[in-house]
Amino acid sequence: MIMLNTLRCPGCEQPFHVRFGVGPSKMARFYVPCANCSLPIRGRSHGQDLDSHRLEFEAEVLPSEPSLEDTFVTVDPNVPSNYSATQRGELGTFPTMTLMLLVGAGREEALFEVLSRSRSAVDEVWPKVRRIYEYYLVEDWKHFDKAGKDAFNDWQTAATNHGRATAAHQAVWAVTAAITDDINDSATRYLHKFRNKHTAALRLTKYLHSSRADVASGLVPQLQRGSFQLLDRFIGHFDAWQMGVLRRVMPTNRLVMLEDLTLFRDEFDILRDLYQQGFETVCKTLRFAVAAQNTIKRQDPDDFGPDVPLSLNNQKANPKSLNAYDKLGNAARLAYIGQVPGWERYAALLNNHTRNAIGHATAWHDLRTGKIFSDTKPDGVQYLDLVADVFGVFDALSASLQVLRSVRVA
């Protein structure tokens, strides 16, 4: 729904209209470019329905002035727009039409289906699934089954810890899969290949002992809890990175259209924290994937063989054990994942260049250009690219939790 507001710019003091796209939101921090002088004006949007929805602008709100009909900007915090678009019909002036143009003819229905399904999973299913997993973590099986039956009509009571772990993680996967969709199957392929390697490796005593030692030490339970809590935080800020799905659903030849667009959102701090925390957490789980790979290739989870990954030109030798592998930098750890056929695209979900750019102390979000600048990235990273990369980290994190489940039940 579009709401019309008239603002007086606190800079040039001229009035202009804002056509604002209203949607459900816990709290969206956005900004509006003045139609006269282009000053970014911050605001907040919150409310789950029209009756409770509130818009707040850091500018004076005026009574409607019909004479300003041609002086307007269109802002929808959930749709990319053009900062300088003020004429009706320009790309970015009509939210729904913008999305349809971005994905191209014949793909609109698929995009809106993805957006609707993910929103339903976040708002309606996740709160119930979160309770299931919280009871699973503390082994409260009575309330675990009650929460499961409340969430799923076909919930089956399990009699073993293995069965309960499977049920809990299948419930989480139902939500994360609905959010990430199956357009990009990088994480799904990674998880499928890991499970095959893991199942085969369990026949070897060294691998089984290694997995059990990681569980007994508290490493796996700690990572499970941390990964789940971080997934919950990602989902709590779903609005901030939902539009990352565009880079998945748009045809490659249309991605150039995003270069002149940005999201009018002022949530760089949220995206930065989610990206960095997700990146670090996923990298901590990579030891289990390389353990399975090492076992399949060399019958020992700690044996990395003689050949160093080609991308690690400066590394003279492979680590001598999984614990030594854990002490490598994240980029090096990802190199071992990226060299395994079928896992290279999963490693690509964790864009180290993005992390280095946004993680620098000098990083800041320029609202006029819609880019993130820092000393290490003076040319800037497009805000929409960061949103897409946060989406990718969420995808990788959801697969990592499923990896931990396989190790835990070993």
% of the chain surpassing 70 pLDDT: 95
Pairing mode, strands 60-62 and 2-8: antiparallel
- Helix, strand and coil percent figures for the chain, each rounded to 5: 55, 15, 30
Confidence of residue 386 (pLDDT cuts 50, 70, 90): very high
| DSSP assignment letter at 262 | B
Q: Which two three-digit tokens encode residue 224?
A: 């499970």
Mean pLDDT, range 200-211, rounded to an integer: 96
Q: Does the structure show a pLDDT above 70 at 68?
A: no
Cα(first)–Cα(last) distance of the chain, in Å? 51
CA gap 239, 132 in Å, rounded: 23
pLDDT-derived band of residue 6, with 50, 70 and 90 as boundaries?
very high
Question: Is it the case that residue 89 has pLDDT exceeding 70?
Answer: no
List the structure tokens of 167.
């049920």
Listing DSSP states for 329-382 in one string gives -HHHHHHHHHTSTTTHHHHHTS-HHHHHHHHSTT-EEETTTTEEEETTEEEEEE
Least Cα distance to 75 among 33, 111, 37 occurs for 33
- H helix or E strand, kind and range, residue 42: strand 40-47
180 pLDDT higher than 70: yes
pLDDT bucket at 341, cuts 50 / 70 / 90: very high
How much is the mean pLDDT over the chain? 91
pLDDT in tens, 93-108: 678 888 888 998 888 8
Judge contact between 15 and 31, C-beta under 8 A.
Answer: no
How many CB atoms are located within 10 Å of the residue 126 CB? Answer: 24
Confidence check: pLDDT of 69 > 70: no
Q: Give tens-digit pLDDT for 296-320.
A: 999 999 999 998 998 898 888 999 9
Question: pLDDT-derived band of residue 184, with 50, 70 and 90 as boundaries?
Answer: confident
Q: Would you say 346 and 337 are in contact if contact means Cβ atoms under 8 Å apart?
A: yes
Res 327: pLDDT: 96
Per-residue pLDDT tens over the stretch 347-385: 999 977 777 778 778 899 999 989 999 888 888 888 999
State the DSSP H helix or E strand holding residue 149, giving kind and residue range, or none if neither. Answer: helix 141-151
pLDDT band at 1 (very low <50, low <70, confident <90, very high): confident
Which pLDDT belongs to residue 225?
96
Please report the pLDDT score of residue 66 as a whole number: 63
Token reading at 94: 């009509």
Structure tokens at 169: 């993680």
Q: Each residue of 274-293: pLDDT tens digit?
A: 999 999 999 999 999 999 99
User: What value does the mean pLDDT take over residues 32-40?
Assistant: 92
* φ, ψ of residue 160 in degrees (nearest 5): -125, 160
